[in-house]
Amino acid sequence: MEKTIEEYFTDLEKFKKLHFEVIKSAENLGNDIDDLQQDYDSYVTYQSKLTSDLTKIATDNLPLTIGIVGNSNTGKSSLINSLIGAKFLGIDELPATSKITVLSYQEEKTPKIFKVGKDGKIEETTYEEYIRFGMHQHEDIVDKEAVNKLDYFEVHYPAEVLKKLQIVDTPGFSTLSEEDDAITKAYLKKTDLLLWIFDAGRGTITDLELKLLQEISDKRIIAIINRIDMKPPFQRAKIVESFASKFNFYKIFTYSAKEVFNYQKAVHHNTGIYNELIQESLGLLNSQKSFSITDNGVKLSLTHGSEVLFEKEKLIVFENEFIQFHDEILSFLQEIRQEVSDIKINAYFEELLSFHSTQLDLWKSWSPQLERILENRSTQYADFEKSIEKLKEKLGDRARKYYAELNNDLAGKLFDELFRFDYQEGGFFEADKHFIRMKALSDSDKEDIKEMLESDLDVFYNKLSKDLRTGLAKLDIELETNYELSITEILRDKFAQASYESVLGLINLWQDVQIGSNYSEIKDILYVNISLCVSENHFCDMALLMAKLTCTKVLENHESDHLRHRAIIEQLANVINMTIHE
């Protein structure tokens, strides 16, 4: 069943909300949203354009876009003046233009000028800036960079004809600038048809004009042979035949922009006089005064008795064939406008349906995509969990290895710090004696022993911490703070103190040992006892436990994120499915 226009636009509004939901979900997932925001902005802009175009269709506000082109000095500005029935921006003939100017209708009496940048930015400007930036004669004094950023001008003008026709004044084709040709050709693609102005004085199409016409022959091109009044009537048909033989124009009109505009100016002047006369007469009627009106064809006067209250000269108006040509041109353009409007309306609805279909297909494709994302995330989480378990096993092996190295090295260091060898020479009947004696330890010596214990335990701690961080970094996990290993540092300090006190207790129990032939055995016993003071079952196990606890915390956080992300994605999938199946 076909949808109504309202239903299509209701769907577009729902699709816009889906774009917004995607951005919100991406933000909640911690993803970058710049590209999504651009997609959303582009969608909103396009949706607004469709809405605006529909309003134009509903109000029959689809003006025919006409490009005014031709070589320089053929009367493009005069033609525009004659079409709108007034001097465009108050001037008879614009200097050679270097930018496109688009004339559109507005009800407000004072014209407004806007400059449109190549970035799409629209900004109201002044007449002086329009002349300075848009005319070749000022090229040496303007800011080149500012001019290069400018795309074209828009002029909103209160001319009745602009309700149906949008007029595009181009730089045309000239020898002034190759850029003029490029600018003109580029903008012609946006027009519905072209009014190509020729000078009747040249008699026919020049080779340059013919070459340009052939380059853009895919457009409807209407030839306006201007200044035909400068040719005698018996030559005019021959001139038209010459133009028709050179190129297949959509239509050819002979014209005199100057004569048409002079006629319009006279009519406008006389209309103004009649309006003034009517106002004066109404004032006399309200005052109940008698009056008489005289029109001798040259002057229009209003008298009260012998007193002349109003008198102004009229302009003589002669209707001529060129006025008829002007009306024929506008009538012909109106026919084309209706034809083009029908085409535009059909194209609009095709565009609307295509855009709607594209968006619907887009959102239908999201469901399987989101399902794949959920499957991939579940697989990734399972792999992550396995990696954490492997890291725990690796940390256990490394911790025992590091601590065994520490223990062996520390026992030797403590023995050297606590004991010394002594020798006593025997007599005639006595053998030499060897002793292991306790060193006399000052408070400073005892502090050095404690610092040595802390330093060696730091080596163990740092190695284990580095392995933990390296292992997590391979999983793209960076620990900003490590609470569990910080606890291990505290344990290290306490364990170093306890080990130090245990060693001192061993010293206090120790008596000088005389060594006979079993010196090595005695030394080994001391090593064993010292090693017991820093047993692996203390600091090593606690540090390993805390490292593994860190891994468990990381896994718990990852699981929490995994479940939260899954919920966000599932919610988005539900919203999309509900929307496209409504």
One digit per residue, the tens of pLDDT, for the chain of length 582 reads 478 899 999 999 999 999 999 999 989 988 888 999 999 999 999 999 999 999 988 888 889 999 998 877 788 888 888 888 887 754 544 555 678 889 999 988 888 999 888 888 889 988 888 877 766 554 555 567 777 788 889 999 988 899 999 999 887 775 556 666 777 777 888 899 999 999 998 888 888 888 888 888 788 999 999 999 889 988 999 999 999 999 999 999 999 988 888 888 888 888 888 888 888 888 888 888 888 888 887 888 888 888 888 888 887 766 677 788 888 999 999 999 999 889 899 999 999 999 999 999 999 998 888 889 889 888 988 998 898 888 888 888 888 888 777 777 776 777 777 777 776 676 666 666 666 666 777 778 777 877 877 777 777 778 878 888 888 888 887 766 555 555 555 555 555 555 555 555 555 544 444 454 455 655 665 555 555 555 544 566 666 777 777 788 888 888 888 888 889 999 999 999 998 887
Closest CA to 39 of 279, 358, 321, 350: 358
Structure tokens at 253: 């009109």
Structure tokens at 560: 């929490």
For 61-82, the pLDDT digits (tens) are 889 999 998 877 788 888 888 8
* DSSP 8-state class, residue 137: G
The pTM assigned to this predicted structure is 0.63
Please give the Cα distance from 139 to 124 (Å, whole number): 21
Closest CA to 11 of 38, 37, 60, 50: 50
How many DSSP H helices and E strands does the chain contain? 14, 15
Please give the Cα distance from 280 to 277 (Å, whole number): 5
Beta strand residue intervals within 204-349, DSSP E: 220-226, 251-254, 292-295, 299-304, 307-313
Please give the Cα distance from 300 to 429 (Å, whole number): 165
Please give the Cα distance from 269 to 324 (Å, whole number): 20
Closest CA to 394 of 441, 463, 325: 463
Residue type, 101: T
